[in-house]
Amino acid sequence: MTNADLMADKPPAVAPRATPAPTRLNSRIRSLLGRPEAGGAITVVVIYVFFAIVGQEGGFTTLDATASWLSNAAELGIIAIPLGVLMIAGEFDLSVGTVVGATSITVAIVTGYFDMSPWLGIGIAAVIGVLVGLVNGVIVVRTKLPSFIVTLAMMLILAGLAIFVSSSITGAASISAAPTGAAKDIFAGEWNGFGTSIVFCGVLLVIATVMLQKTRFGNWIYATGGNESTARMMGVPTARVKILLFIGSSLGAVLVGVIQTLTFSNGSISLGSQYVFTGIAAAVIGGVLLTGGFGSAIGAVFGALTYGIVSLGVFYLGWDANLTQLFIGILILVAVFLNARLRRLAVGRS
């Protein structure tokens, strides 16, 4: 049998089937799903639609209700944005709640007890915030201790110090504030129920987003949280990055403390206790990884909006307010799973 006969008996070769290239639309969808805030955006839309439908008769969709939950969410967003950026760098800050309380009692003592300018109280509170953030950052980068432990200790230290100072000066841990003039208009002003906290949150969001996406410092933040050792070998000043972000986290808490104190004309050391974990929860719901290196400022805002909608939505439905924590706990689990799933879909994994 000749070679020609063998070739004649051999079945013709079948060309491998070409894999179709992904369409531009599919590529765009995968890109959007891979965004850190994708899960947070989906969550906030679903949650709002749910409460808008179920709570419509209770008045959830009215202008007053919208102004209320949006203003509350903005205050949480002011905490969550710098805290989320710090988490992207791989660190935590549990002392923000105590910084809010220390700011509140400081402003109240200056304006209500000594009858002095609120700007003086705001300035002193800002200095306290910078010092707290600086101490947190220096201890973390010098000792290599977990920031969870360092900031937990700072939370207790600052709370005890604030109580001691307030009790020594005024004899109480909660006193009335007397805000007047431009300071009250700027920090406690409102329009049809919409507080100026919304403006502050929006400005902070723009600054943080531009910093993360358009600046070298933003690249340093992601590199520090992604792999600190590698980032350091590449010349990234990881210690400076972390210290500055700890200061930013404390200053965000100072701003919220000022807003709440001048809004309610009262200062209390326990004012910011709810922010100890809600800021972290908002960031996580918005897609910030607990391990660092991944997340966005807008995702933290989506998380804050979700928290604001749930906390007020439960009230307008007439449900027990304790269910708010139940909802948030479930949302954290769902958000973490959803964000991880979306990231896998974005890179084509099953």
CA–chain centroid gap for 309, Å, is 15
pLDDT tens, 226-240? 999 999 999 999 999
Q: Are 94 and 151 in contact (CB under 8 A)?
A: yes
Q: Do residues 108 and 261 touch, judged by C-beta distance below 8 A?
A: yes
Q: What is the DSSP letter of 216?
A: H
- Considering only residues 124 and 333, tell me which one the structure prediction assigns the higher pLDDT: 124
Query: pLDDT, tens digit, for every residue of 88-143?
Result: 999 999 999 999 999 999 999 999 889 899 999 999 999 999 999 999 999 999 99
Half-sphere exposure of 32 (CA within 13 A, CB side): 8
CB-count exposure of residue 260 (10 Å: 0-12, 13-18, 19+) = buried
Examine the pLDDT at 260 and tell me if it is beyond 80: yes
- Token pair listed for 143: 């000792």
Closest CA to 308 of 292, 286, 289, 287: 286
Instruction: Over range 281-291, report the average pLDDT.
Output: 88
Domains of the chain and CATH, by start? 39-338 (1.10.3470)
pLDDT at position 227: 92
Higher pLDDT, 38 or 17: 38
Tokens for 127? 């200095």
Residue 53 to residues 48, 63, 266, 312, 316, Cα–Cα distance (Å): 9, 15, 36, 14, 12
32-78 pLDDT, tens digit per residue, is: 766 878 888 888 998 899 888 887 777 888 899 899 999 999 999 99
Report pTM: 0.88
pLDDT in tens, 152-166: 999 999 999 999 999
**DSSP bridge pairs for 191:** 194
